[in-house]
Structures are given as C-alpha cells and as structure tokens.
Amino acid sequence: MKLQLTRRADYAIRAMLALAEAAPGELLSVRRIATGQAIPERFLPAIMGDLGRHGLVEATVGRNGGYRLRRPAAEISARDVIEAIEGDGRRQRCVLHDQACTTLEACSAHEVFVGAQDAMLGALEAATLRDMSARTSG
C-alpha cells in the first residue's frame, strides 16, 4: 500500500512549512520559497493562489511583497493544506464496486475502508504546521 501526495500537495506543504518557519510577520517571495524548499518556481503562484483562496495565506503585492500565513501555524493542519489543493479527501467510490459508495447499500469492505480513511484524515487534521516545523528544525 502506498500513501502518496500529488506533486502540487507536496509543494504546498513545503511552501507552508517555509512560511511557518519565517519570522513573525515576515513576507516570503515566491522565489525565496522556491529556492529554500527546492520547488520549481513556475508552480508556486498557482499553488499560493489556491492557499490564499482557502484562507491559509495572505499576499502582499509590490517590490517588497510576498506571502505569510493568515493564521498561526498551530491553527493550520496538514489536512487544511492538502484539501486546499486537492479538495475533499474522502473516498467517493465503493472499494468493491465501481459506483457511488453509500451507507444504505454498504459493501462488506465499507466499514474497514471508512475507518482507515477516518484515521488518516484524523492524523492529517492533528498534524499542525507548528508540529511539523518543530520536527524539521529541531
């Protein structure tokens, strides 16, 4: 089994960690984030736009502009970031049948996979940028 983020979600997590590790109120440019996090610079404007539309970052335009977190790092979860980029992470299709999954006609594997999904989403919700940043910097 493999749990793997899309490239966009991976870049979004890295960009958000860079912002979480910046000094309070400091603005980081796309170039600085890209260089510091080994992200191709051309992908970041769209990713940062998605993060901004979901209320996770704010942008300041101009010569000294850049991005900063809109909320404290302790209040932004990995799930917030991933869902801002990829949308709702809940499985929509039945594991055994290629159709919409419903609880009314649940297959025999439904509860196992819903439980696993809930555990994964719970772990992503519990992991804040502050927690992840502390792991990488100390």
pLDDT of residue 118: 85
Of the candidates 44, 36, 59, 66, the residue with the CA atom closest to the CA atom of residue 133: 36
Please give the DSSP secondary-structure letter assigned to residue 92: -
Q: Answer whether residue 136 shows pLDDT above 70.
A: no
Regarding the domain delimited by 7-133, which CATH topology (the fold level of the hierarchy) does it fall under?
A: Arc Repressor Mutant, subunit A (1.10.10)
Residue pLDDT, tens place only, 74-116 = 999 999 999 999 987 666 666 666 666 666 666 777 777 778 8
Q: Give the start-to-end residue ranges of the domains of the chain.
A: 7-133
Residue pLDDT, tens place only, 12-66 = 999 999 999 999 889 999 999 999 999 999 999 999 999 999 999 999 998 889 9
Predicted TM-score of the model (pTM): 0.85
